[in-house]
């Protein structure tokens, strides 16, 4: 029996999403076309791959086997094309935004793999990068794989990269700006500005978990796009906000470390195992080595805090 790779891709995508509408969007085809192609494939195989009703789509045991091996088949087919045509497809990496630790990895990768071409992108959050990862339009992204509002999908894998200490960003002249360090409990007297954006839902979720864990108050919730919007809101409203102390700040703003405990923001490398770039494993090994060498996995003190979902995820040691 000959398999149509297009139908294999359709079935694997539906297995990732377990939703005909989302899978059809990823494949840029009509939902009716996807449904018809899945039925045709199941008829050829003589076995159902999915169970579905009006509300749910689920994999059958045969479907789970087909999806797992189908991902490998699609990846092998892509590698075969690359080898035969001798193409050097750029490794497409989303570094989230300027000023984050992930941007430091690009010069390292270029120095250690000078023959590998890169395409560097910025989606400003893993939530925004996720659809492109699932669609195979992006090879590697970074971010916190929790609080995204949707599951990662069976095809996506993650590798812990670092723990970023989070501080408080305040306008110049704010009472907290006079301190060298700010105990987290001190924020109870200074209600926070919480900035949210669809592209970085995981950051908003982290901030909400910190507020709940330490009984903090929220002064204002604002929506915007990107870090520039968030910093402009802090300046305009003169309210403190969570932020990375290592990032460059515009005039009029200052960052202070938070202590007792130090809140940590975990970030991971995320990639699609169904359509891996031939060099993704090489890049991941270089990233892992760089992160360990620079102690990105190491908490800055013995007294630290992570949200509960992040505590349960694998975390690299020194």
User: Contacts from 281-284 at CB under 8 Å and sequence distance 24+?
Assistant: 282/113, 282/116, 283/91, 283/93, 283/109, 283/113, 283/116, 283/140, 284/140, 284/159
Q: Say yes or no: do domains 91-162+265-311 and 164-264 share a fold.
A: yes
**What pLDDT was estimated at residue 225?**
67
C-alpha 36/C-alpha 23 separation (Å) is 13
Between CA 71 and CA 40 the distance in angstroms is 19
Domain 91-162+265-311 has CATH 2.60.40.3080: no
For the segment 72-85, what is each residue's pLDDT rounded down to a tens digit?
898 888 778 766 65
| pLDDT in the model for residue 317 | 35
What six digits make up the tokens of 315? 């975390």
What are the structure tokens assigned to 119, written together?
């395409």
Please report the pLDDT score of residue 149 as a whole number. 76
Q: What is the pLDDT of residue 301?
A: 79
Indicate the angle between helix axes 31-45 and 20-27, nearest 10 degrees: 100
pLDDT, averaged in runs of 10, over the chain (318 residues): 90 92 90 95 96 90 94 84 68 82 87 87 86 88 87 87 94 92 94 85 92 94 79 90 85 94 95 87 92 90 89 53
CA distance 48 to 129: 32
Residue 229: predicted pLDDT: 79
State the Cα–Cα distance between residues 299 and 70, nearest whole angstrom: 40
Q: Can you give the pLDDT at residue 318?
A: 31
The pLDDT assigned to 155 comes to 86
Q: Is 164-264 CATH 3.40.190.290?
A: yes
CA 306 to chain centre: 17
Helices (H), the chain: 5-17, 20-27, 31-45, 61-85, 101-112, 126-135, 201-214, 226-237, 280-293, 308-311
In the prediction, which pLDDT does 95 show? 86
- The pTM assigned to this predicted structure is 0.71
What integer pLDDT is reported at residue 271 of this predicted model? 95
**Upper half-sphere CA count for residue 100 (Cβ side, 13 Å):** 25
Q: How far apart are CA 269 and CA 2, in angstroms?
A: 36
| Domain spans, the chain | 5-85, 91-162+265-311, 164-264
230: number of Cβ within 10 Å: 22
pLDDT digits (tens, 9 = 90+) for 215-270: 999 999 988 767 777 888 888 999 999 998 877 788 999 999 999 999 999 999 99
Q: Which of 224, 14, 29, 271 is nearest to 130 (CA)?
A: 271
Backbone angles phi, psi at 127, to 5 degrees: -60, -35
Map residue 157 onto helix, strand or coil: strand
Query: How far is the C-alpha of 205 from the C-alpha of 132, rounded, in Å?
Result: 21
For the chain, give the longest Cα–Cα distance: 74
| Protein fold of 5-85 | Arc Repressor Mutant, subunit A (1.10.10)
Q: Encode 231-272 in three state secondary structure.
A: HHHHHHHCCCEEEECCCCCCCCEEEEEEECCEEEEEEEEEEE
């Amino acid at each position: 029996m000959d398999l149509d790779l297009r139908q294999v891709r359709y079935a694997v995508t539906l297995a990732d999403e377990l939703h005909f509408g989302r899978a059809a969007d990823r494949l840029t085809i009509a939902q009716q076309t996807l449904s018809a192609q899945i039925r045709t494939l199941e008829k050829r195989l003589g076995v159902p791959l999915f169970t579905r009703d009006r509300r749910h789509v689920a994999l059958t045991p045969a479907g789970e086997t087909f999806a797992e091996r189908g991902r490998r088949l699609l990846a092998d087919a892509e590698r075969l094309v690359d080898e035969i045509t001798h193409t050097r497809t750029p490794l497409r990496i989303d570094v989230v935004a300027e000023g984050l630790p992930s941007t430091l990895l690009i010069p390292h990768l270029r120095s250690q793999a000078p023959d590998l071409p890169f395409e560097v992108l910025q989606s400003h959050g893993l939530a925004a990068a996720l659809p492109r990862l699932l669609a195979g339009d992006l090879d590697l992204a970074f971010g916190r794989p929790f609080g995204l509002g949707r599951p990662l999908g069976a095809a996506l894998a993650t590798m812990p990269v670092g723990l970023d200490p989070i501080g408080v960003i305040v306008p110049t002249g704010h009472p907290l700006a006079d301190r060298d360090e700010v105990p987290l409990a001190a924020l109870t007297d200074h209600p926070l500005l919480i900035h949210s954006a669809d592209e970085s839902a995981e950051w908003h979720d982290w901030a909400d978990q910190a507020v709940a864990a330490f009984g903090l108050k929220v002064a204002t919730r604002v929506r915007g796009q990107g870090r520039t919007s968030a910093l402009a809101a802090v300046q305009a409203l003169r309210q403190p906000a969570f932020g990375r102390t290592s990032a460059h700040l515009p005039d009029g703003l200052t960052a202070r470390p938070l202590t007792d405990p130090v809140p940590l923001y975990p970030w991971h490398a995320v990639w699609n195992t169904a359509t891996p770039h031939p060099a993704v494993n090489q890049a991941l090994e270089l990233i892992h080595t760089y992160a360990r060498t620079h102690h990105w996995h190491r908490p800055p003190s013995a007294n630290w805090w992570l949200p509960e979902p992040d505590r349960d995820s694998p975390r690299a040691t020194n």
